[in-house]
Amino acid sequence: MTFQTPFRTKHIIQGEYFVTDDPNLVLSTLLGSCVAACFRDPALGMGGINHFLLPGNDPGVSSSIRYGAHAMEQLINAMLRRGARRHGMEVWLFGGANVLSGMTQIGDSNAKFARKFVHDEGFKLRGEDLGGTRGRKVRFHPATGRFEVTPLAEAIAEKPRPRPASTGGEIELF
């Protein structure tokens, strides 16, 4: 399913979260080993997304949103401040791929953390697209609860980058 005009897009990067009740806004992110949790209060047509890099809590003093526990708390609290009902929230989880072979399985750790957090906090897990070895482009429409998930290789291929004509002998940095 592709979102067409009149929707605007807000892109979320690592360590961010965003909440909206704008019916014309789609939230988007690109994920590899990171996880994005999409929360929605269907009664309000409001929802939000976070994008975290590491599972659990920040071992330092900063409570960085790059860590799952803090990212989840920030998103949930932002929704509650805007009138969402905790017991009515729905959740979808995306990402957690192991994109680099031979490296630690951080994607698996992120996915495991996200599932456990949702379960332990008593939220309704409505769906997930976690794991694997390929990244994803996720687009979430909080007003309707609709999603568009595209494997990253396809997402990159959607917009091929134009190559300038070579003039020979010059170096181009981009």
Domain boundaries, given as residue ranges, for the chain: 8-154
In which region does residue 56 sit, left (phi positive, over 0), alpha (psi from -120 to 50) or beta (all else)? left
Q: Residue 147 CB: number of other CB atoms within 10 A?
A: 18
Q: What CATH architecture is 8-154?
A: 2-Layer Sandwich (3.30)
Helices then strands, each counted (H, E), the chain:
3, 9
pLDDT confidence band for 171 (50 / 70 / 90): very low
Task: Report how far residue 77's alpha carbon sits from residue 87's, in angstroms, rounded to the nearest whole number.
Answer: 13
Q: What pTM does this model have?
A: 0.82
Is pLDDT at 25 greater than 90 in this prediction? yes
pLDDT at residue number 168:
47
Q: What angle do CA 61, 96, 120 make, to 5 degrees?
A: 65
